[in-house]
Amino acid sequence: MTIKELEQELEQIGVPKDLYSIMIGGLPNEKLCIVREGKWQVYYSERGNKSGLKVFETETEACEFFLRKMKRYATV
């Protein structure tokens, strides 16, 4: 799975865009984030901190993990 495919899937299942941040970086408040900083990182950004940081070797692993986390917010 690629970032583009991840974005399409999240849109298809109706996950609100204000719940996540894809490839923007930084520490947006209260969002699940996926970025590539050397390795792929997935974390929850809250009050300027990365909590629950998971590091992945591949884009596919990171995207699949991110999607699993976000499916609970699907509206479709």
DSSP secondary-structure letter at 18? G
Contact 30, 45 (CB under 8 A): yes
Residue 13 has pLDDT above 90, yes or no: yes
Structural domain that includes position 31: 3-73
Q: Where are the beta strands (DSSP E) in the chain?
A: 20-22, 31-37, 39-46, 49-56
Structurally, how many domains does the chain consist of? 1
Q: What is the pTM of this model?
A: 0.93
pLDDT digits (tens, 9 = 90+) for 23-52: 998 889 899 999 999 999 999 999 889 999
DSSP secondary-structure letter at 51? E
